[in-house]
Amino acid sequence: MKITVAKTAGFCMGVRRAVEMALDASNRTADPIYSYGPLIHNPQVLNILGEKGITVINAIPEKGSGTAIIRAHGIPPSERDALIKAGFNVMDATCPKVIRVQSIIAKHARQGFAVIIIGDRAHPEVRGLMGYAGNNGYVAETMAELEALPDFERAIIVAQTTQNTAFFDSVKSWTQRLHPQYKVFDTICDSTENRQDEVKSLSATVDSVVVVGGFDSGNTRRLYEIARETGKPVTHIETEADLRISDLGKAGHIGITAGASCPNNIIDDTVRRLFELRGVNVDELIAQPA
């Protein structure tokens, strides 16, 4: 059996930055540290942060103390203000790529533009972006929702940073054809684009694909969807414990990719588990002379 791991699998820059900020804070202070909402979408990493004393809060108390870390996905500005008002020392771990989108939205909303966000309305990043749009914000998850929006005299279109690139390409084509006056900003991050390109090419060369990452992770689900579109058997797991021998079928060549919040150790454990399910002793394999 052959296993190929995608070069882009694992932590992206924004996730790595957020986790490092949280761990550094836990090493520098004995004061309470909270993450306002899950810092990233990976339960295993959140468990590690919990062991470091970083507690997740999902609501803002009237009074608080210690440090509140803004999640990598960002939050609405009103919630940031509420954290400060409550008495927290606020540490902003919002991904810089998300901050760029927030800035674009805030600038154009102030100028009276309608703001159309292509993304998942329930996703925390999109909720945060909508906070910067104020009353001018609209979310479209599908082409049907986009087409159902009013015809605006002035509008901008941005994408959730982890949006499907092929879908956003279709949005851009639609806009150019029917609403050329709208301003479209390419806000899908490079990491997302590279992962999606690689999973397409990887899927074409293997017999089946394993996608590793949090079940709540939007970017991981999109990798799974893109791999499925190739027609190859695809499995989405959160850890190696989710793997079953039935997932492998007769695949002789398995490709592995992982979401932006998946740590390398889980990817490594997945590779080891795949070999074990096929009866291969990985330790003996590693010990064999070249």
Residues known to be catalytic? 125
Tokens in use for 82? 């509420």
| Dihedral (Cα; 189, 190, 196, 198), 10-degree rounding | -170
CB 208 within 8 A of CB 255: yes
DSSP 8-state code for residue 135: G
Residues in the chain: 290
Distances 38 to 54, 213, 280 between C-alpha atoms, Å: 10, 15, 37
Tokens in use for 220? 């991981």
| CB neighbours of residue 249 within 10 Å | 12
> 90 - beta bridge partners?
68
CB 43 within 8 A of CB 22: no
Phi-psi region of 36 (alpha: psi -120 to 50; beta: other; left: phi over 0): beta
